[in-house]
Every structure is written in structure tokens, then in C-alpha cells.
Chains A and B, each alone.
Chain A
Amino acid sequence: MEKKQNKTPKFANLLRSHRKEAVLSLQRMTDQPWSTLSTLFVIATALLLPACLLVLNSSLDSAVDSFRSTARVTLYLEANISDTQAQAVSDHLLARDDVVGVEYISADQALREFSAATGLRTVLAGLGENPLPASIVLQPSAADSSLVGELARYAASLSEVDSVQADESWIQRAEAIASTLGFLGQSLGLIFALGVSFIVGNAVRMTVESRRAEIKVIKLVGGSDSFIARPLLYTGLWYGLSGALLAAIVLSILVYAANAALQGQSVDLLPGLTLSGPGVNGYFSLLLAGAVLGWVAARVASWHYIRAISL
């Protein structure tokens, strides 16, 4: 056997071949713009849905975060507690690590605020006795629902405290919605990734079909399967990458439009809720995912279909 080929120029030739096939496969795609566009559109749609869900999930997460910073725990004190005792309880609670602020509202102050707010001054004056309890409002340090719950339970155990009201149920609900969206986004992402693979695989199959004669000749004259598959791998890569690019463009438009719609609403769905795009890292991940998916799917499909061509 002849072993005359030397290594160095061979590597350069391999690189040149890769570059050539990358450009050629792109040209072949643009040669049939409609078929290429329809495939790209399907790929983009498949990538877009999970991407939207993940964007919604992270936006809701950050809304919950900002909502948490405004979370409060209100302690209603027993009726017989004096201002001094209440002040002592406040100081005691402020000393805790999970509390960053306390505000004491005496029974008198509460009555003044209530009557000012409601205009029921004469009715309240007629009661003779102040029906409202004194209260302490706590600002939790960094409030995830378990921490707020813990703080509320501790406060309730104090003898001076009659009852506790915490906003944790709201937080829990928002957290549940966010994590459901996250789960949906991830599982749909996996399912649609499979779908994208099938789309790319089908595109590869059609390319192999249309180049059957050429592939046969290349096989006969000693072209290896990897040489034959090279342009197909680039086809897969370009499909995945440009599908993801299309998805990214549509996604950014959607985020912008959704925010405009949110701001038009008269009620706040959730304080601090604005849709934020996936950011540079997110867009990069989307493109990377598309490219990798396309490449891998094309690799599997070309391996399969090239072998199926009998000589």
C-alpha cells in the first residue's frame, strides 16, 4: 500500500475542505429559499415556545424577588400590653438576624389612622373604648416563604402576641406559578428539542436523496462516510443556528410587545412584574442550543442515511 501522503498539508487540506463545505452547504440552502425558510420557521417555532416559557419563568422569579423585599409580617399584640412592653418586644425582634426593620403602631395611633382613613370618627368615638389592637410590623431580611413562615411562627409563640399575619401565601403562590412555568419550559424544551432533531434529520434525508448519485460515486472512488457527511453536518448546523436566530429575534419582539401590553393594564398583575428578555447569556444559550441540536441531529441522520445507500 502507498503511504505517501504526509501529515501537515493533509491537516491544512482538511481545514480547507471544512471551510469549503460550510460555505457550500449555506449556498445550497439559499438555492431553495422557500423550502429552507419553511424548515427554519418550524425550527424557530419549536425553539420559541420553551424559550417563552423560560423567559416568563425568570421574569416571574425576579418579580417575586422584588415583591419579597416589600413583604411584611404584622404582629397584633394582646390588649393588656403597655407601650413599654411593646417597645421591648420590638427591640427583641429587631435583634434577630432575619429582621431588618420594625415599626410599632400603638392602639391609639391605629385608631387615629383608621378613623382618618375611613371617616368613621364619630362612630368610633361613641364606642368609648378603642377596639383596635396595637401592632408591630416586621420587615424580614431576605424573605423566601420558608424564612417568613419561620419568623411568623416564632412571633406567634411570644406571649405578648395575640395573632400574626404574614404575606407568605402570596409569595408561595407566585413561587408555585414560577416553578410550574419553569418546569413546563424545561420539559417542553426537551420535547421540542427532539422535534427539532427530527426536522433537521428530515432535511438531511432529503439532501441525501437529492445527491444520491453523487454520494454513490464518491463512495465508489474511496470517499469516507465522514467526507460525505461533512456538508450535511454543516447543513444541520446552519439550520439549527439560523432557526435559533429567528427564534431569538421573534422572542425579543414578543418580550417588547408583552411589556407594552402589561404597562397598558390598569391593575398590577403582580407588583414589580415586567418581562425581561433572556439577556446576552440567554440569547447565546439559545443560539448554542440550536447549533448543537442541528449538528448532532445531522450527524445521527447522515450516518444512518449514508449507510443506507447501497452501491
Chain B
Amino acid sequence: MIAFDRVSKRYEGGHQALSNVSFELGRGELAFLTGHSGAGKSTLLKLVLAIEPITGGRLIVNNTDLSKLSDKFSNKRIALHRRQIGCVFQDHQLLFDRSVGDNVAVPLQAAGFSPQDIRKRVRAALDKVGLLSKEKSLPVRLSGGEQQRVGIARAVVNRPRIILADEPTGNLDPELSAEIMTVFQQFQQVGVTLLIASHDKALITGLGHRIIALQEGRIIADSARAGHSQARA
């Protein structure tokens, strides 16, 4: 689903954010991306989301070759690409002027679904994260963990094949973090590919998933290569 082949990213100012990064994530695989801040985790996620173009190598996400992502890569195509990917952020990126349900509905509205479909899918997504009862609440009334679960509901409401998460448990206590991870694992079990950036080593090492470690823009360790058994597709 995600294939990095000697990918590098140099920003316009000259900062080399990623160098020669190669790894592959198959369908239904869950991998953690670790490293100190500034190691290139966020840049890597931005490349997958086509927020930034790569400057070297080859990157294929969901059968789309993002190496060709340039000015010619139209706005419409980028939008279609992003609809296949669900995103979860550390700061949730919820809109506080509207209800939980309306927040979750945003990707569906952007994709042009009918109001009936939107209502159905929003309720299904909220049900999955255990927040169906909060559909009409405003996000400010929810706890941090609940807000993050709303973020996850929004990420999965469009039934994406890939979920990206950038420090999804960054602001949560260990108990809530474990809860969020359980939700992610449930999506993995139904065939979704997940790439989760996190520096919470204590949390992720115990889970037994693949861990890719970044340092100064390079992969310094990949547990899949080190011999861990991983489902590949």
C-alpha cells in the first residue's frame, strides 16, 4: 500500500529532511514510526499525504506514483488521493464551532456524499469508536481521549485503505493511549494499513508491531528487517 524506494526530501530552504528512505507497508500492516522530533516523521507523513512533493527516489501510495507529484499533479487529483487516506493528528484538528457529528461529516461533505449517506456513515464511524451518544455534543465538552476518538472517527468515516497518525497519543495518559491503540488495531484487523508516528516507546514496544526508527532523516532500524515476523502483501 505504501512503498518508499530510496526517497529523499530536501526543503526549498536547503534542509535535508529525509535521505534515502526505503520501506514497504503491505495491506493490513500496522507500523510505528519512531524517532526524536526533527527526525523526519512528520515530513514522511506529509509525503504520503501529498502535502509535500518528494525530491528524490520513488514513492507509491495506494497504486498512485507520488514521484510525479509536481505542479502538474492537479489539485483535484491530490484531493482524490487524500480521500483514500485517513488522518489522525496529535492536536485532533477538530472544528470547535460544530458538533461531533458535523466534525466527522467533513470528509464526506468534501467528497460530495448525500446527506442520507453522510448521516449513516457518521453514526457508523462514531459507533466504532464508542461515541455514538456524543454525536450532538460540542467537541469542547469531551475529554482529551474522547476528542482523539472523534478525530479517529473522522479519519475512518470515508472507509480509507490507509490511516496515518501523527503522535495520536501525544497528549493522553497511558490508559487512554492504550485505548486508542486498541482502536487502531481493530482497524488493522479489517485490512486497513496504518502508519503511526509516535515517540512513546514504552507504549509501542509492548504491542509487537513493526517499528521503523528514523534519525536525522534516515532509517536506522526497521524491526521487519531485523527478523520480526510481519504479514506482507
User: Which of A's residues lie within 8 Å of B, judged by CB?
Assistant: 1-2, 5, 9-10, 12-14, 16-17, 213-214, 216-227, 311
> Which of the residues A1, A2, A221 comes within 8 Å of B110, measured between beta carbons?
A221
18 examples of A-B residue contacts, CB within 8 angstroms: A5-B112, A13-B114, A16-B114, A213-B93, A216-B93, A217-B95, A218-B110, A220-B49, A221-B83, A221-B107, A221-B110, A221-B158, A222-B80, A222-B82, A222-B107, A222-B158, A224-B76, A311-B49
Chain A residue, CB-CB nearest to B86: A221
Chain A residue, CB-CB nearest to B63: A1
From residue A233, how far is it (CB to closest CB) to chain B in Å?
A: 16
User: Which of B's residues lie within 8 Å of A, judged by CB?
Assistant: 46, 49, 51, 62-64, 75-76, 79-85, 87, 93, 95, 97, 106-107, 109-115, 154, 158, 161
Q: State the main secondary structure of chain A at its contact with B.
A: helix
From residue B45, how far is it (CB to closest CB) to chain A in Å?
A: 11
From residue A1, how far is it (CB to closest CB) to chain B in Å?
A: 6
| Contact A12–B114 (Cβ < 8 Å) | yes
> Which of the residues B95, B106, B112 comes within 8 Å of A17, measured between beta carbons?
B112
Summed over the interface, the residue pairs from A and B with CB atoms below 8 Å come to a total of 74
Residues on B with beta carbons closer than 8 Å to the beta carbon of A5: 111-112
Q: Assess A224 versus B79: contact at CB under 8 Å? Given A10-B112, A13-B112, A311-B46.
A: yes
| Contact B113–A13 (Cβ < 8 Å) | yes
Distance in angstroms between the alpha carbons of A220 and B63 in the assembled complex: 19
Query: 15 additional contacts, CB 8 Å, given A226-B75, A226-B76?
Result: A1-B62, A2-B84, A13-B113, A16-B114, A16-B115, A217-B93, A219-B82, A220-B87, A221-B82, A222-B82, A222-B83, A222-B110, A223-B106, A223-B110, A224-B79
Q: Which of B75, B87, B97, B113 has the most CB of A within 10 A?
A: B75
Closest 5 CB pairs of A and B: A223-B110, A222-B83, A222-B82, A221-B107, A224-B79
| Contact A227–B110 (Cβ < 8 Å) | yes
Chain B residue, CB-CB nearest to A227: B110
